Structure 1
């Protein structure tokens, strides 16, 4: 191989462990790699920026706007309300949950579907007295399976199809062409999840159960009306920098002061809520002017319009990962106070301020109402779920948002418009009809995914133009002995492995030029290899880090890392066998 090919290969190889192990986001890692290749002269500026002009990228962006409109109008909530119901047994509950989720995920991005379902499933499981951990992992897996049914199902399908069309316009695929393989894969996967999957899970305790009793992690005191603390600020009273506790809120005259600042002045009869350990009560007893609360009901069990109790799942991209809560000034940055931390189904004991946050930790937060909308799209949190005072979505325009999506699907599937044009028209319509505001549309765009896709194009171009893709294809052909079926199996396994470690988009886009070069070297149709890349990139069942929805359910379900391997391992094998059997039959070599 020429020097440029070796450099390109070295950069690509270095990218994968960096994305898997470092705290840098995949978009930052990939953009850095593209900049390096551009600086070294391996790729031209047009190749480096080619991803930003991809039809697949723009189709994904427009679909994000459509999904945001359906979520904002309560379209998903409407389906949840009418579908979940009151099944008589666990099998019925799983069917009511998984079939609609898989169907929705065929046309909507998986992440908002799962994010909307999680709080509903947690509430539903309590009402039905079903363990939430037996529902949440199947929920995530069903959304992944549903994404394989159509080209709209995942961003990876759209992006890979965009690459294919840019390279060979005559090989364009219809919206439902993948269904010939995707439907059997989804049905067999769902049957496994309903009949066997949950039974492989050990008993787990979810975050909601851990946070159920506020008295386990809060201490409540009252300000003595005749004591020395009346009219003194929190700072002056010595309540700002306690060793074991945080002052979270003040209940006063039927109202609440949330996320208390140091300048807040105390009044007689104020009920102070502290988060921390029971040992911290000793510290409070030494403060003159405070006395134990005489109220029976915990303040956190009441609903106040001035504050919200929120569960937030920490993302691997959160800037506080690895930092102690106190040192990171969490409350100052987010305007929210941490009441408790759940990890692996157990509340993290000890001094709350000394807890170092980890990805998938579930935080119980006390915050003001604007916190939810302000941080719902934050890359620091995978999921923000409101526990009290939740506003019911307005459903008046839900039918309109669904109708627009149905129109987009019809236009694309009938060939009236390209998928990008249909999605662009749909995005414009939801904005014009008020189904989605411009601000919501901007917040709904997952910029990290879009940048990851765009940067991946640059790495793929480097592999192709430098000759590295052709050299790798030659090596793969040698290993497969020139047998296209063995090569197909090898390509599937490679992408399936990479997608467990890094993002599915990066795994698919970077391997795309290699599989195309392999097909060309063999003189066979590239279609079975392209479809195999799509399905393998979606086979993210083995680890919680392999797919965002897996990480979203990891904390709320109280799962351990091995639980995904236990349930997802056999599911990976089943989906691979079905896909690799059907793909060559539908798209012959």
Structure 2
């Protein structure tokens, strides 16, 4: 072993870990910089350094991003989620209804899109259950992580580690094999959340509501003749407790029904008049069976799947001011439809076409996604901004996406396909059937995650015996520290990964500790499989900080959480899973 090579490699790893903890630069750039130092110093050959970019696990993660996007764009899981949540009668049953289906879905889907789909649904549901959303958001994130431990597909971290196993000549795990340890961890974690959530979780408002002064819009929605909402009451249709929005009245065959009763049943072609903020309008447009009441929406040139909602503030030089929207022929002029208007932050009563526009009015438009780029420098509008995640879902293709997901699972289980070819086939079908557009597929791939994984694998290569030898060097110390006991070494490997995954990121922790785990098993003369599984589970089980895992960050703002909330609630859970995993792993994968 070359002392200089070992010192430099471990120094790069140490500096990279510290930088990921304190620097604003992303882990992708930090690990790539560290890998560059090792290449320039001659510690690792360029071919070995970039081998991570061709890793099967990394490519599988990239393809699964596209599969998840197809499920999200079609709303394939949204309706299932709402049916499973129901209307519980207590906090405990609410948590059960939330966590059990979420954990089950996360076993087969990437955690991030599951949480992204659940966030708006959960906000609405919390109001219906009369629960603080801060009592639900962290359990949502933790349930997705716990469910993801049960299969190889559950998290991108497990997919990556499984790919690393193949590259090391080890037998990769089958789809459900991580469940031997993941399922006990999941059950223990869910019991912990149910039993301690009321005591340890805060009761706090979301950060977005603490300084809230939103614009209100009035929007009319039409109940389609084939709507699944037909015959349902306002209560059962989920239209009574909409977040940031209320149903003001119903227009039915020329009659107005004000102060709508929760027991009122919906009929075909009912015009529902809602009042609410823009984010609620986005959620409303994604409800199946409701469409904007203005027929102008159907006269636009572009298909609805290529449109989005846009807020535009009319300027004093806008040619349509001081005229009604109908007289101004707004759709013909701008190829956009006004679906709501707000003036001085207040709603304007009356039908959309009859509203006379004034300078400063905020118009909520449905238009092609290019509208914002075309009009951003126009003198007709003071400000033009696109509303996030407002593109209508392709609900008519939801059954295709659901069938593809079932097929993906069957290919991995019944037909014993490997993850990469089955994921490639699933992504191809979703693109060819229009469940996800080509540009959406490209945009869905998180390149920073892929670079983090690839650079981490490259640094892991540099730690091997044939390069710097840093991995065996660290393994020798771990072996002597554990007294030559494999179970003690297993606990140490799990603990190191556990600390790293909470301080940096799951993917970086997994790729950096993986070669140390292999070297430790080799130096002790035991099967490396228990150590590899420990790295896989520990890296994916990040609960004690918001920065270690993306879903923890996603719920931080909506739940109004602080850093200490994760430490207080997630810290004991992390230690609990450490104990469970170290006890269970040797029962399935012996030394």
* Structure 1 residue aligned with 2:109: 108
Asked if the contact 1:94–1:135 (Cα under 8 Å) also holds between the matched residues in 2, the reply is yes
Which region of structure 1 is more displaced relative to structure 2, 258-267 or 401-410? Answer: 258-267
Residues 1:135 and 2:175 are matched in the alignment: no
The equivalent position to 1:298 in structure 2, one of 334, 341, 346, is 346
* Structure 2 residue aligned with 1:281: none
**TM-aligned CA distance change 1:301 to 1:11, over 3 Å:** farther
CA distance in 2, matches of 1:301, 1:514: 67
List structure 1 runs of 4+ shifted beyond 3 angstroms: 211-216, 256-270, 294-297, 299-309, 366-371
* Structure 1 residue aligned with 2:511: 509
* Structure 2 residue aligned with 1:523: 525
Quote the offset at 1:587 in angstroms. 0.6
* Structure 2 residue aligned with 1:88: 89
* Structure 1 residue aligned with 2:206: 206
Pairing of 1:110-125 with structure 2 (within 5 A):
110-125=111-126
CA distance in 2, matches of 1:431, 1:467: 45
Which region of structure 1 is more displaced relative to structure 2, 411-420 or 153-162? Answer: 411-420
Pairing of 1:324-473 with structure 2 (within 5 A):
370-372=386-388, 393-464=393-464, 465-473=467-475
Asked if the contact 2:157–2:506 (Cα under 8 Å) also holds between the matched residues in 1, the reply is yes
Q: TM-score, with normalisation over the residues of structure 2?
A: 0.72
CA distance in 1, matches of 2:376, 2:134: 30
Q: Could you say what secondary structure the match of 1:192 adopts?
A: helix
Which region of structure 1 is more displaced relative to structure 2, 418-427 or 146-155? Answer: 418-427
Q: Could you say what secondary structure the match of 2:558 adopts?
A: coil
Q: Could you say what secondary structure the match of 2:86 adopts?
A: coil
**TM-aligned CA distance change 1:431 to 1:560, over 3 Å:** same
CA distance in 2, matches of 1:257, 1:94: 35
Asked if the contact 1:51–1:453 (Cα under 8 Å) also holds between the matched residues in 2, the reply is yes
* Structure 2 residue aligned with 1:497: 499
**TM-aligned CA distance change 1:297 to 1:35, over 3 Å:** closer
Quote the offset at 1:107 in angstroms. 1.0
Q: Could you say what secondary structure the match of 1:130 adopts?
A: coil
Matched length: 462
Q: Could you say what secondary structure the match of 1:397 adopts?
A: helix
* Structure 2 residue aligned with 1:328: none
Pairing of 1:116-265 with structure 2 (within 5 A):
116-169=117-170, 171-210=171-210, 212-214=212-214, 258=311, 260=313
* Structure 2 residue aligned with 1:382: none
Quote the offset at 1:301 in angstroms. 11
Residues 1:48 and 2:49 are matched in the alignment: yes
Asked if the contact 1:335–1:371 (Cα under 8 Å) also holds between the matched residues in 2, the reply is no
CA distance in 2, matches of 1:488, 1:301: 67
Quote the offset at 1:264 in angstroms. 5.3
Quote the offset at 1:570 in angstroms. 1.6
Asked if the contact 1:306–1:368 (Cα under 8 Å) also holds between the matched residues in 2, the reply is no
* Structure 1 residue aligned with 2:547: 545
* Structure 1 residue aligned with 2:229: none
CA distance in 2, matches of 1:200, 1:29: 35
CA distance in 2, matches of 1:263, 1:13: 59
**TM-aligned CA distance change 1:128 to 1:368, over 3 Å:** farther
CA distance in 2, matches of 1:80, 1:585: 35
Quote the offset at 1:424 in angstroms. 1.1
Quote the offset at 1:564 in angstroms. 0.8
Deviations 1:407-462 (A, max 9, x none): 12221223542211111111111111221111111111111111111111110011
Q: Could you say what secondary structure the match of 1:556 adopts?
A: helix
Which region of structure 1 is more displaced relative to structure 2, 295-304 or 565-574? Answer: 295-304
Residues 1:485 and 2:461 are matched in the alignment: no
Quote the offset at 1:192 in angstroms. 1.6
CA distance in 2, matches of 1:127, 1:547: 29
CA distance in 1, matches of 2:349, 2:515: 56
Q: Could you say what secondary structure the match of 1:524 adopts?
A: coil
Gaps of 5+ in 1: 217-255, 271-293, 310-330, 337-365, 374-389
CA distance in 2, matches of 1:125, 1:184: 29
Q: Could you say what secondary structure the match of 1:307 adopts?
A: strand
**TM-aligned CA distance change 1:371 to 1:335, over 3 Å:** farther
Quote the offset at 1:164 in angstroms. 0.9
**TM-aligned CA distance change 1:297 to 1:142, over 3 Å:** same
Deviations 1:50-87 (A, max 9, x none): 01111101111111111111111101212222112211
Asked if the contact 2:312–2:363 (Cα under 8 Å) also holds between the matched residues in 1, the reply is no
Quote the offset at 1:266 in angstroms. 11
Residues 1:474 and 2:476 are matched in the alignment: yes
CA distance in 2, matches of 1:492, 1:576: 7
**TM-aligned CA distance change 1:264 to 1:553, over 3 Å:** farther
CA distance in 2, matches of 1:210, 1:474: 53
Quote the offset at 1:534 in angstroms. 0.8
CA distance in 1, matches of 2:427, 2:576: 37
Asked if the contact 1:135–1:198 (Cα under 8 Å) also holds between the matched residues in 2, the reply is no
The equivalent position to 2:560 in structure 1, one of 536, 543, 558, is 558
CA RMSD of aligned residues (A): 3.2
Asked if the contact 2:111–2:155 (Cα under 8 Å) also holds between the matched residues in 1, the reply is yes
**TM-aligned CA distance change 1:525 to 1:367, over 3 Å:** farther
**TM-aligned CA distance change 1:523 to 1:429, over 3 Å:** same
Deviations 1:90-118 (A, max 9, x none): 11111111111111111111111111111
* Structure 2 residue aligned with 1:273: none
